[in-house]
Amino acid sequence: MGEMDAVENEALWDEFHQLVNMTSQELGAWLETREAAESTETLPAGVDTEAGRHVLSILLKRRVDLTDDDVQLMHQVVEAVETRQERVVGAGDSQWRHSLMTLGHDPLKPGNRR
């Protein structure tokens, strides 16, 4: 890995962990709830419990243990969370909030900076 890649990956790691504001325990519990309720609510394309499980696995890793797939998903999560937040529908829109939570970001969590 080149020096530039290392700097970019460090910046991605930091941004990912700022946006993914749910703990691994919170996300794990949410995904269990999500999987139980999948038949009652559809999520936008690209947001599913499989992606959420991958986010959860990344939260449990050290930076040096990331795979290329992890880095790719981290880019996707950062982009998805930023895009969904730009289109703020409102805190009362549960589908909007749930799609973000499935990626590990709770927009209503106290201390949310974005």
Q: Report d(CA 15, CA 17) in Å as an integer.
A: 5
Q: State both tokens at 84.
A: 């969904």
Question: Cα–Cα distance between 75 and 63 in angstroms, integer?
Answer: 14
What confidence tens digit (pLDDT) does each residue in 90-106 have? 555 777 888 889 999 99
Is residue 61 in a domain? yes
How many domains in the chain? 1
| pLDDT-based confidence at residue 110 (cuts at 50, 70, 90) | confident
Is 23 a domain residue?
Answer: yes
For 101, counting Cβ atoms within 10 Å of its Cβ (0-12 exposed, 13-18 middle, 19+ buried), the class is buried
For residue 13, being part of any structural domain is answered with yes
User: Is the CB of residue 71 less than 8 Å from the CB of residue 13?
Assistant: no
Do the domain assignments include residue 12? yes
pLDDT band at 49 (very low <50, low <70, confident <90, very high): confident
Q: Which domain holds residue 33?
A: 3-102
Query: pTM for the complete prediction?
Result: 0.80
The 10s digit of each residue's pLDDT in 9-45 is: 899 999 999 999 999 999 999 998 876 565 555 555 5
- As a whole number of angstroms, the distance between CA 12 and CA 71 comes to 8
63 within a domain of the structure (yes/no): yes
- 54 lies in some domain: yes
Domain membership of residue 114 (yes or no) is: no
DSSP state of 22: S
Q: Six-digit token pair at 20? A: 């993914």
Question: Is 91 part of any domain?
Answer: yes
DSSP 69-100: HHHHHHHHHHHHHHHHHHT---TT-HHHHHHH
